[in-house]
Homo-oligomer: A and B are copies of this chain.
Amino acid sequence: MVSDFGETLHHMAAPVVGKSARTRARLVAATRAAIRARGTFTAADVAARAEVVPATFYAHFASRGDALAAAFAATLDEVVDLVGAHLDPARLDPARPDRGAPAVLAAFVDALVDFFAREARVFRAALGDLATNPGVRATYRAHEESAMAHLVPFVAAVRGTGPDDPAVVPVARALLVAGQGLDNPLLFTGEHSDAERAVLVAGLCALVTADPRTPPSPRRPPGRPA
């Protein structure tokens, strides 16, 4: 499995330069645009949007699945950039309330929900192929690792700890899971109230500062409704 991913990544990372690279980038952008518009795509549709002949599509992608993996990779590049820009330890300043962890996480939630809403169809199409498309799986795993490279130092910074804090990696991975959970149609429809957003941010703050060895009790004792 791992070597399968490795080979696929190697293939995807093969250097492509000059005019050929520009054409490929145009085809990837056209694939994303087609999925955004219709939820799916054909090679002919993408070639027409990229203003190339259909044979050019197959000169750059072995299959439709290859084009989908490339479109997903380009989309995930942008997610990782967004994570890096928002969850940057340099953004945190304990002396300023607008730069505490809750404010930074709130801005991150807004930006990520907006991004997922815009790219929802690309995510659905790619994740729908996850089980059957090794290229989609490989790019998904690789981008998770890239996101972790941002999340680990951010979590350590919020916790005020260093590499000796054994909670940092599990907390960063839980934050990775929670962040992906924001790719949810419920959040995209304007039904997403400020109160709901505040609750999600509170949950993320608790998660970032959690001690995995002692799950906290709720703030009030559990009880029955009055």
- Chain A residues within 8 Å of B, Cβ to Cβ: 38-40, 89, 92-94, 100-102, 106, 120-121, 124-125, 127-132, 140, 144, 153, 156-163, 166-167, 170-171, 173-174, 176-178, 180-182, 184-187, 193-196, 198-213, 215-226
Contacts and interface: CB of A to CB of B under 8 A. Distances in A.
B193 A170 contact: yes
Contact of A153 (B129, B159, B170, B225): B225
29 contacts: A92-B222, A102-B217, A102-B218, A124-B128, A124-B130, A125-B128, A127-B127, A127-B128, A156-B225, A157-B222, A159-B218, A160-B221, A160-B222, A162-B225, A166-B195, A170-B199, A176-B186, A177-B181, A178-B178, A181-B181, A181-B182, A194-B212, A201-B215, A202-B215, A203-B204, A203-B206, A205-B215, A208-B218, A209-B220
Nearest to A39: B131
A200 B196 CA distance: 18
Given A181-B181, A200-B174, A202-B216, A222 B101 contact: yes
Contacts of A205: 206, 215-218
B199 A167 contact: yes
Contacts of A219: 209
A207 B199 contact: yes
Contact of A195 (B167, B178, B194): B167
Oligomeric state, in copies: 2
A217 B100 contact: yes
B173 A177 contact: no
A210 B220 contact: no
Contacts of A200: 174, 177-178, 207
A66 to B, nearest CB: 17
Contacts of A182: 177, 181
Contacts of A158: 218, 222
